[in-house]
Amino acid sequence: MLNAKHTILLISILTLLSMQSHADIYKYVDKHGRIILTDKPTHSGYKQLVKTWKGWEEAKIPKNFNWVKNQKKFDSTIRSIAKSYKLPHTLLHAVITAESSYNPDAISKAGAVGLMQLMPETAKQYGVSNRRNPRQNIYGGSRYLRYLLKLFNNDLSLALAAYNAGEGTVKRYGNKIPPYKETRNYVKKVIKYYKKYKLSMS
């Protein structure tokens, strides 16, 4: 039988995991073997949890990958490209965080690649010859995002929905966020990061 301590821990875990539709969940195991779950990791030792058909698992990322280090590494490039396309650098950081967690080698099941998860057609359209190249990838993703913002009259939510589900899908639903759980969660996630970075990144 579960004792009171284990019961409280189990309830806490289930509560946090139920928040997945609104926030990312990260796990950290301290030196005493205690499991800490949070949606606001404070250091790179936290591992993101993702829901798979097998249940909740740690996100598959390269060994020794440090997203905080990569965030700092790519910051100057992101700021430079953001300035070129008159986009807030904090918005690009938000999109990259949601798309790849700053992993330039990230590949989705759908075949999107790189920091801003470009599909082959999008990459070709915006002159990206190597989707794994961080600078090229950010340039392509930024050009596409700028285009989407113009297309949807600077409505950020619609632009982000189109970035996730395609501009045709957003138009098909009457220029509204499509009723897809993944897309709606994506929009909320990026906007959450965007608000956070506007306060923490000067």
CA atoms within 13 A on the CB side of 116: 31
Q: CA-CA distance, 181 to 122, in Å (whole number)? A: 23
8 A C-beta contact, residue 194 and residue 187:
no
57, 99, 167, 182: the catalytic one is 99
Bridge partners of 28, per DSSP, are: 36
State CA 96 to chain mean position distance.
Answer: 6
- Paired residues of 160 in beta bridges: none
- C-alpha of 55 from chain center: 21
Determine whether 57 is an active site residue.
no
- Residue 89 is given by DSSP the state H
Residues forming the active site: 99
